Amino acid sequence: MTQRNKSWKKHLAATTVLFVLAMLSACAANPAAENDVAERAQARWNALLAEDYETARSYYSPGYRSAKSAVDLGIDIRTRKVKYRSATYKDQNCEKDTCTVRMEIGYEVTRPVPGLAKWESKSIVSEKWLKSDGEWWFLPQK
């Protein structure tokens, strides 16, 4: 084998190794992306709790935003019997471009039954988030 062929084979082997490593790293979970969805989920809830419906709406999917205004979102939230009092990120389960985020939501229900002024509790809520055009969006249930 000539020196040129040996050099070419070494170059090819090195390039192949680099390519395989790049592909493996691309397939691995991206913690930064997963942190992004956790931060966005918490920020959406923080906005809802502050009754900042314009900001909260900015985390919803583009399809939702094209159909519902911030006023619509505010009316929907304010007319529920359930009033949200707290929200804490718990965990998430992500695949390629979708995540299920679990949040612990504190809430109260005013006069749920005769004789009871209000009832307070917490519950774990699962939310769907979708990655589109490099950004995570909340996908509300229909």
Q: What is the pLDDT of residues 75-93, one digit of tens each?
A: 999 999 999 999 999 999 9
Percent of the chain with pLDDT over 90: 67
Map out the domains of the chain as residue ranges. 33-139
Residues 109-129 have pLDDT tens digits of 988 888 888 899 999 999 999
Mean pLDDT of 23-37: 55
Please give the backbone phi and psi of residue 98, each rounded to the nearest 5 degrees, phi first: -135, 145
**In angstroms, what CA-CA distances link 129 with 8, 9, 25?**
47, 46, 23
The CATH-assigned architecture of domain 33-139 is Roll (3.10)
Token code pair at residue 95: 């695949």
pLDDT of residue 13: 47
Q: Is the predicted pLDDT of residue 69 greater than 70, yes or no?
A: yes
